[in-house]
Structures are given as structure tokens and as C-alpha cells.
Amino acid sequence: MTAFFLDQGTRTGTPIVLIHGYPFDHTMWEPQVQALKTQCRVITYDVRGLGRSPAGDAPATMDQLADDLFALLDVLRMPAAVLCGLSLGGYIVLRAIERAPQRALGLILADTRSQPDTDEARQARLAAIRQIEAEGLKNAAEDSLRKVFAPRTLAQNKPCVDAIRKTILKNDPQGVCFAAKAIMSRADTTPALARIKVRALVMAGEHDSLTPPAVGQAMAQAIPEARFVQIPDAGHLSSLENPAAFNKHILDYLLDLPQ
């Protein structure tokens, strides 16, 4: 297991694994770590190819990223945990729970979808990969910022925007391309939603243009025991744009989770 990870919080609390979006790293979860660490065992890690986790010579597939999650749980000797994924993290969680439902104590899906890329989205990712391979991450980072943040965040929360820009630019360009290829490879996990046995919380930012609230609502309706919440004043990075609301819903969810 070569992924960089942090194991924080209380060992006797509910274990929760927070899986970040693309093309970010574990640091995007800092507001959630601070909110959860007094009552949970909080695991954050860098997805393969991003942050401090090298891509290596593994295949660029969602199954590989799910395998990495299973390997991390094994290293931690954690039979199961609450799995929380945002965007790319949600794709990983959905594939993981489809393959190994026993590894999930609960499920939190934020700003994500169960459907694969459309042809249009796949072409856009290929164009982004070509751009990164040709010129590095600078322009790709600015494109990403415009897509992931709500207009209000871009205008009024410069520290948050600057932090994410720095996170993107610290990545290895080839690692970012690896992650993009893995995202493109993902299969449709929608048919598996009806088979999810654990309680789920689905969240989406009010102004998320990449995975609008209607996408999250549809997922929640397909999962037998799920609740949908819209995060106000937030775009695709709802955990950072409105951490107070995001954290409240996670904490409420964990309180109601069967022990």
C-alpha cells in the first residue's frame, strides 16, 4: 500500500474514511477532520496519482482505485467504515460498495453521480489530458476553479479558492492525467444503488453545475434508505464552500447511524 494517509481522531469512535475529489488531495477535508475528530476515527488519504500518492504502474481504472481503498482498510485492520466520497471520491465509494458491500458501515455521497461519463464529458476529459500533457497544470487549474466553485465563492472567498489552486498545482501532471483516465473508465453503478443495504446521506451544493442537486436527489431516491440534502451557497466543493452546513449534516447522520 503506497498511498499517503492520515489516521486521526479517537480510536474508539466510529471509523470514517473521507475520499477527496479531482484533482485535489486529502487536505480539502480539513474542516471535516476538525469537526469529526473528537468522536470519530477519521481517515483521509491521497487518491492514487494525486497529492503525495504516486500513480505507479497500476492500470488507470476505477477498480484499481477501489482496490486501493480496500488495501488501505486492510492496512488499518478496519473490516468496515463509513465511506464518504466527494465527486471522484464518490465514484470510488460507489464502485467499492458495489464490489464489497460488507466494507461499508454507512455511505455519504457528496457532489457525485452514479452514471459514467457521457461522450461529451469523455471528449472534454481527453482534451484536458492533452492540455496538461502539453503545458502542465496552470491553465487546467484555472479551468477547474471556474467549474467547481459557485460564483459567490469565487467572488467572496479568496482564501478557499487560493488554497485549492495551490493544491492542484502541487500535483504531478502525469498523476492528474492518470486520475482523469480512471474517471473516464468508470462503469455505470446506477443498477447497484437499489442493492445498497446501509443508510446513506447524499448531499449536493445548491449551485453545483457539474453534478446538480437533481442528480443527487435521483441517487437518493434509488437507494433504499437514503436522505438527500442540498447545501446552500455552495457549488461542487460543498464541503469547503459551506463547511458548517456540510458538517452538521454529517454529524446528524452519524448520530442516527445504527451502532
pLDDT digits (tens, 9 = 90+) for 16-64: 999 999 999 999 999 999 999 999 999 999 999 999 999 999 999 999 9
At residue 98, does pLDDT exceed 90? yes
Distance between CA atoms of 45 and 150, rounded to whole angstroms?
25
Give alpha helix (H) positions in the chain.
30-36, 62-75, 88-99, 119-135, 138-148, 151-156, 158-170, 173-185, 190-193, 213-222, 238-241, 243-256
Is the Cβ–Cβ distance between 202 and 220 less than 8 Å? yes
C-alpha cell at 129: 489530458
The 8-class DSSP code of residue 77 comes to: T
How far apart (Å, rounded) are the C-alpha atoms in residues 93 and 171?
22
Q: pTM of the full predicted structure?
A: 0.97
HSE on the CB side for 194, CA within 13 Å? 2
With a pLDDT cut of 90, the percent of the chain lying above it is 98
Torsion angle of the four alpha carbons 80, 82, 85, 89, in this order, in degrees rounded to the nearest 10: -10
* Burial class, 6, CB count within 10 angstroms (exposed 0-12 / middle 13-18 / buried 19+): middle
Under 8 Å CB-to-CB from 149, ≥6 apart: which residues?
157, 160, 161, 164, 235, 236, 237, 241
pLDDT digits (tens, 9 = 90+) for 236-253: 999 999 999 999 999 999
Please give the mean pLDDT across all residues of the chain. Answer: 97
- For the stretch 149-168, pLDDT in tens is 999 999 999 999 999 999 99
State residue 1's pLDDT score.
Answer: 58
Residue 259 pLDDT grade (very low, low, confident, very high; cuts 50, 70, 90): confident
C-alpha cell at 188: 455505470
Provide the pLDDT for residue 164. 98
What does the domain layout of the chain look like in residue ranges? 5-256
Helices 138-148, 119-135: axis angle to 10 degrees equals 140
For 5-256, CATH number?
3.40.50.1820
